[in-house]
Structures are given as structure tokens and as C-alpha cells.
Structure 1
């Protein structure tokens, strides 16, 4: 064996129990009793307080590389490893060029080559006029496609109008792929008052619940008509949950995600000028947050991913919500932020892993990760669920130290991360032999 991990707490088939996990050539090859006699090049005994989990999978990450100084593959994947994330899927939006052609995808891959601490895959972009590029992108290995129904904020990545959206969805259906949709309605946002000043209520009014309701209705209708598999990204408004639930019951092939910032923060606690909380769609009320949690627990929402959307600090430096870049930097803390709120609501590690490992892996078409089982890739995370730590944004591995989580106490600590059996992160100060 290359590696044997022994732990008194391992998440296996939805239950936490003692086990040893043996790895050869990057794959879990045996799972047995804690004291199973096995020879291995590396043997690790985890502390009693640590649970061995599948590595987290984050399918909504903006690395913004090449072409910007907002984030890079080296920093993003170091942050991911420290957060227990073993696979991330990069969004096609804020790099230069945007990932709407095979040539742009290859530019992404060149930027990533030799700079990644964890596994990285890519979504392709859908913009007006590039439907013919989708099949070549699929052949080149993108995990699926992403589009916007309102302005993305990047003129190189325009929104799809309803007719274009339906045509793109039909093509995605023919390819047997999946279309990820930023589901905010352009017509609703265009008719809403623009944000201005330091008052967060102004930002909320500029992107009302109705924007998500209108867009999700279009997504459901188009998915029903085309038979495409569709995924709604970053649901922030609980008002769309009844429509999503009804569509699922009717057999529409639709899934949906939310993000830790919608599950952790509330509009009521955003301070005047708190532009580090600005996200599109926005963080909404405490009552809305409770309904999102209910939607997760009843299966209307399928998964939780970060939407790590960093930018240069100067774009977050103005306290005017009308001028700020809408995005939250959160990759390294995303699983812990979710666990902090989940555990406070009586949710266990099995549910956490389902939302943050198994279902994101399934969305991106990965059948070899997201669970600990014989034959699965040995993507693993040693996680202390009871530890508490204060986040210091300047100490995170993200390229820029701007985050609404700065100063927040989160539950959980990552002790070690392995990708295909190789150690990619080890917490400093651990007892000898606890991690490689």
C-alpha cells in the first residue's frame, strides 16, 4: 500500500465509525477494522477528535486566471487544500480570455499547469453567437456550461436573451451535458432602482426576489421544453423554492445550489458601507435564510458551493454599494462556514458531506469522488468538527485579504488533505505522525 489512514471516526455510507482506509495508486483499495494489519509506505493515525471525510468538491469557483490579478491557480488551490477541498471547477467568466472557445480553454489549462495543489476542472461559457462552439468545448473536456440571464458585469461575457437561452439549452440537451444558469432576470433588474450610497437596503432593492422568480420560471419552462439537464447556481431567494420543488416533482431535470454566505449572513447584520458583503444575487433577510436551510434539508436545494468570486482590493475599497464589485471571497472557509451553521441546526456530517462533496461531484460528472469507498479516488479530508477558530482574512491563502468572514468564529478545522492519496495540506503543530 502507498498509504494507510487509521481513524476512530470515518464517514462511510452515511455513518461515522472506526476504520482503516488503505490507498494504492491514488485509489481506495481496502476499508477494514481500525487495527487491520497492513504494510504501507506511509501510515497515518488520526487524532480521536478528527473525522476522516471525503474531500470537499467546489463546483463554483472564479479563479480569474489568466489575465487578471484577482486570483490565481496557485493561490486558489492552496486555499482549497487548506479548506479540505480536493476538487474545484473553475467558472468561465472573469479570465482573459473568457472560456467560450477551445483556444480560451487551452489558455486556462496552460495557466493552471504546474500551479495547482488540488484537482481542477473547467466549465465552458455560453454567450450570444457561440452555440457552435459548445460541442468542441465538450469534446475538449469541459464539465458542462454556464450562462447569464442578466448582465454579468463583464462585457466579454454577455447575457443570453430568452430565444438565445432556449437555443443554447437545446444544444446542451443534444450534447447530453448540463447548463448552469445565473438566474436573475435582466428585465426585472433593469426596472429596479440602481443601488447607491452606503445603505445595504439600496443594494437589496436593486436585485429583488422577483428577479430570481422571473428567471427561474424561464429556466424551468425551457428545461421542460428541451429536456435539458439544468442547474440553477447560487439561489439566494427562498421565493423560488416552491417552483423548483414543483419542477422536480414534474420530472424536470433540474438541480439547484446555494452558497455559504446566504446560509450564514443576513441582510439585517450587514453594516452601513459593508461592501465586502455585496454579492449578486444579494444576501437577504434572516427569515429568508431559514427557508433556504429548510430547502436544503427537504432536498429542494441540492448542494452548497462557495461562489468564490474575488477581485482586486480597490474594487471593494469604496463604501458605495452602487460602485462596488459584487462578489465574495470565501473558498478556504466555505466548508467550515456551512458546517458552523449546519451543526447549530442539528445537521450532521453525513448531510454536510452530501451537500459539499457527493452532490457537487455528481453535478460535474465525477463518478470517482465525493464518497469514501473501495474503488473511489482517495480524495480525503481530516476534519475536526468541534474545533472553533476565528477567521483572519490576511492569513487565508486567497490572493487578496478581503472577506466578510474576517473576524468571524467558525466551527471546524482541517487537519490534513489528500488528493489521490497524496498529502497536499497538513496543519502546522499537529502531533508527530498525525498527518504526513
Structure 2
């Protein structure tokens, strides 16, 4: 007998379509998929009529540890479950990854209620010299280079070795890792002061000024450079959190003439928010929020497959860090719990983006890109990472209901459809009837996702 059946729902199959059916679960895995009219028998059955059953989301871009350090694994995993996110990948940085990674993984396995994996943030020659060793030891196949931390900007944060040479050496080393991919934050930080000085002198303190101090062509220029270096090094590259139409066009042109793989990730806020957002400086983020035309272009990239993954870039800091003004406010904000409802409201309802595309960029494509076997699709044998979504009920976003360490959200008060009512991680109930379960709160069982 099956342990659990999700019965009679609309099954969202990434990049395939939506079909009515039921999903049977046993021992934490998907054991059966039944067509409409077929009956599966189980110890427990959840009626999913008039609901969508989707693969659990895999958020490819989070910053666990930026709020309350290791305690973020508790709070942010719960917030993820509220939003239907059943696995996440988070960036890990330290002076020596060989020393810090075992303890960080152990903290996650002790505290997280969902599965998690790591990207390594590379900021020094030591990281490059030990890249293959650390990748093999810890099962990490994805690495990030921060071009916005070059020169004086990097030195202010303690990074003194980031330059184009470090980028290129990373590409050469990463191509030796099976499945290796290098993600790059693209902003030409050396030109930003040309714009920032006059804006500050003019007394600008509005969110749009953050876009004007790092305009879209500074992202696009860096995208072009990264793609070119990637082609010469013959290493796959991933443009993370792409924010601009111009940057997207650069990648489209590259794909016409070059074979070297280039993938694009964007984030929900670049699809659903602009530089004129009423949240004001609370919505300061790097790269900046752009104009509506950029949102339109990025949504078209989601629709036609040019954009491969969508994440949250979740940063669980407190509201108090967003001040005293634009120039002193921290960059980034929380977004794990609202990732799926935002994409459904602004994508599916407002723009007609098919549900199967939303499922592809938030689950299947993430699993493929990062080598997460058994994740990302409703398929027999896969982990029973599933989310049951209520497509009709309109709910107002309230940070107090999102369980994050962070005490705010930039989309506070927005009315959204598409909230999860059930979230399952390997068949375990984390969210039931819209509420976190006792297991999510007191019995975390998240596993570290070793890759490669």
C-alpha cells in the first residue's frame, strides 16, 4: 500500500503541460502516477481537486547565513516550505573553504527542514588553487565570481584579489569538474563612481537613483566579457540574477554564433518589480531594479526559454539594515516564501506564462543545471518533493506570516494568488492546510545535496 496519495489534482509537468491525475508516494519517493479516473489506495489521501500539484521548487540563489548565521537554516527553510520551495542552493564563502565547509554542512543537516546544496563563492587565488580538490571533496559543481567586488569596491569588503585574471583562472579550473558551471555577478563596478558621485551630490535618495548609478549597460558589458572568456576557456557560464533587457540581448546574440553553453538566471523581483516600486529603498538590491521594459523583456525570456532558471536571491537581514538612506542601506531582501506566488500572479495570471514554464524555470531546469538527481519533476522514482497550490484564493502578503528571520518583505501588502497549501519534502509534510507542521518546526530532516 502507498503511504500517501495526492488525488485528482492538475499535475504540472515542467515543459510538458498540465494533466489531471494523482500522485502516489511511498518511502519518500514518487511510486505511482495515475491518470484521471484511476484510483490509488494509500494510508492517507489528500483531495487535490481544483488544485495544482507542482514539483517542489528548487531555489538556485539564496544567502543562508546573512541574517542570523547558522540559525538561518531553521528559519529560512521554514519560510521556504511556506512558499513551496523544497530544496535550495546557497552561497558559501570563507577564507578557506576546505576548513569551513564541513561545519556549515553539519549545521544545515542539523537545522534545515528541506534539502540544501552549496555554491562556492570564490574570492581569492587560494580558492582557485584548491577548487578541484574542494569540489570533489564536498560534491559541489557550481562556483560564483563577483565582478562587482573588483578594486576599491572589493577592498571595502575585504576582497583584494578579484580581477579578470581570477575570473579566467576560475573558468579554467571549473571545466575540470564534471558538471562544473561558473556563475558570475555582472556589473562593471569601475564605472559606477562616474554616475554615483553626481547623484549623491544632487541629493538623490530615491530607489531609481540606484539604477542610475549602475545602469543596464554596465551589466551588459560585463555579461559580454564573461561570455567571451567562457568561450575561450571552454567552460559553461551562468549569468546569475540578470536584471536587464540589454544583458539578455547580449546572451541571445552570443547563442547565434558560439557553442559554449551560457545559461541565464533571473529573479522574481526583476520580473515583478521596478525602480519605481512603492517599497522605496527597502527594495535596494544588486544589480538594481530596472524599468518596466526590462521586466517585459525578461518575462519574454522566460516564455521562450532564453532564461533557464528563476530564483529569489533571498537575503534574510532585518529591516533595520535598510537605512538610514539609499546609500547606506544594505542590498538585498527576503524572497523565498513569495517566489512562487509572485511568478503565478504576475506570470501566469497577468501575462499568460504557461504553468509548465514556471515549473521548468523553478524546478526541472535547476535540477538539470546543477546535477540534482531525483529532483525537479513529477516522475516515478524521484523524491516526493511536491507542492499543492491553491490557484484561486487571493491572499495579502504579510511578513509576519512568512516565518523568516527577516522582519519585512518588499512586497508587503500585495495581493497574490497561487499560494501553497501543502508542501512535501521527500514525502514528509512540511506545510499542511497552509500551516507549518510539527515536523517542520521541531524535527528538521533536510539532507545535504552532494553533486558530481
1:146-198 deviation per Cα after TM superposition (whole angstroms, max 9, x unaligned): 11001277725567211111011110012231111111122222433256452
Determine the structure 2 residue equivalent to 1:331: 336
RMSD: 2.2
Residue pair 2:86, 2:114 contacting (<8 A) in 1 also: yes
Are 2:391 and 1:410 aligned?
Answer: no
Give 3-state SS (helix, strand or coil) of 2:412's partner.
coil
Determine the structure 2 residue equivalent to 1:31: 33
Residue pair 1:182, 1:234 contacting (<8 A) in 2 also: yes
Determine the structure 2 residue equivalent to 1:168: 170
Determine the structure 1 residue equivalent to 2:4: 3
Residue pair 2:391, 2:417 contacting (<8 A) in 1 also: yes
Determine the structure 2 residue equivalent to 1:434: none
Consecutive unaligned residues of structure 2, counting only runs of 5 or more, are 437-452
Deviates more, 1:36-45 or 1:379-388: 36-45
Given candidates 93, 103, 117, the residue that maps to 1:107 is: 103
TM-score by length of structure 1 reads 0.91
Shift in CA distance, 108/61, structure 1 to aligned 2, threshold 3 Å: same
Residue pair 2:318, 2:407 contacting (<8 A) in 1 also: no
Given candidates 336, 341, 365, the residue that maps to 2:346 is: 341
Residue pair 1:69, 1:312 contacting (<8 A) in 2 also: no
Shift in CA distance, 15/90, structure 1 to aligned 2, threshold 3 Å: same
Give 3-state SS (helix, strand or coil) of 1:235's partner.
coil
More contact order relative to length (CA 8 Å, sep ≥ 6): 2
Residue pair 2:240, 2:265 contacting (<8 A) in 1 also: yes
Q: Distance in 1 between matches of 2:131 and 2:305?
A: 30
Given candidates 205, 219, 235, the residue that maps to 1:212 is: 219
Q: Distance in 1 between matches of 2:396 and 2:435?
A: 17
Give 3-state SS (helix, strand or coil) of 2:196's partner.
coil
TM-score by length of structure 2 reads 0.88
Deviates more, 1:243-252 or 1:299-308: 243-252
Are 2:268 and 1:260 aligned?
Answer: yes
Give 3-state SS (helix, strand or coil) of 1:175's partner.
coil
Are 2:389 and 1:393 aligned?
Answer: no
Give 3-state SS (helix, strand or coil) of 1:64's partner.
coil
Give 3-state SS (helix, strand or coil) of 1:332's partner.
coil
Given candidates 297, 302, 306, the residue that maps to 2:312 is: 306
User: C-alpha displacement at 1:287, in angstroms?
Assistant: 1.6
Shift in CA distance, 85/283, structure 1 to aligned 2, threshold 3 Å: same
Residue pair 1:70, 1:400 contacting (<8 A) in 2 also: no
Residue pair 2:22, 2:40 contacting (<8 A) in 1 also: no
1:271-291 deviation per Cα after TM superposition (whole angstroms, max 9, x unaligned): 6xx211100001111122111
Residues 176-215 of structure 1 correspond to what in structure 2 (within 5 A)? 176=178, 177-194=180-197, 196=200, 197-215=204-222
Deviates more, 1:286-295 or 1:75-84: 286-295
Residue pair 1:230, 1:255 contacting (<8 A) in 2 also: yes
Deviates more, 1:135-144 or 1:8-17: 8-17
Q: Distance in 2 between matches of 1:150 and 1:297?
A: 29
User: C-alpha displacement at 1:34, in angstroms?
Assistant: 4.3
Give 3-state SS (helix, strand or coil) of 2:417's partner.
strand
Shift in CA distance, 99/122, structure 1 to aligned 2, threshold 3 Å: farther
Consecutive unaligned residues of structure 1, counting only runs of 5 or more, are 431-436
Shift in CA distance, 166/69, structure 1 to aligned 2, threshold 3 Å: closer
Shift in CA distance, 335/390, structure 1 to aligned 2, threshold 3 Å: same
Q: Distance in 1 between matches of 2:96 and 2:32?
A: 42
Q: Distance in 2 between matches of 1:385 and 1:211?
A: 39
Determine the structure 1 residue equivalent to 2:144: 146
Residue pair 1:200, 1:270 contacting (<8 A) in 2 also: no
Determine the structure 2 residue equivalent to 1:251: 259
User: C-alpha displacement at 1:15, in angstroms?
Assistant: 2.4
1:329-365 deviation per Cα after TM superposition (whole angstroms, max 9, x unaligned): 1111111111111121011211110111111122221
Shift in CA distance, 8/331, structure 1 to aligned 2, threshold 3 Å: closer
Give 3-state SS (helix, strand or coil) of 2:253's partner.
helix
Q: Which has the higher helix share?
A: 2
User: C-alpha displacement at 1:371, in angstroms?
Assistant: 0.9
